[in-house]
Structure 1
């Protein structure tokens, strides 16, 4: 394995905890919501926080480039381009950990 392939492997295998810029741009413009200290919001385990992150992406001018870049880099999780990635795939919504409460399950079935 060459140094370059080892570097590529390590960069794609490890999850990104900071928001990289879209492909071809050196960084994220500082006026975007993901450019601040809110990176943890985009990688939260809480479904409510992930939905909040998705809402922050809703009107972003780089939304498409962000999602395309995340899919190219095989990002394992997080909110990218207004979509939730889990195990490298776009999912509609993230469920909370554990079993849902019986009252929540009954309410969903009644609806």
Structure 2
């Protein structure tokens, strides 16, 4: 889930006090919440033809075991482990970046994603 808005000029990140992931953690305080898969195109997740090995899944969360589980889950989707991106509060920065990817996808008629160099 990404808190985004859309208008005539295109997508944009909403100015929110906390991320959707943080909201989920607040609503269900016993849940082990992570933020991940924000930058993988939904259509690519469902497509057997798309090879996602060029993309990195950024994973943020406060529970080390939950993060480790999602890091490994990412490997089943992209063929490589997810990238530990830090604390759950960083989802505030990760979620709205999706608006930029949507804009790129529209301009270039593609399904762009995120790749972290140097890892």
TM over 0.5, yes or no?
Answer: no
Greater relative contact order, per chain length (Cα 8 Å cut-off, separation 6+): 2
* TM-score of the aligned structures, taking structure 2 as reference length: 0.29
Bigger Rg over Cα: 1
* TM-score of the aligned structures, taking structure 1 as reference length: 0.30
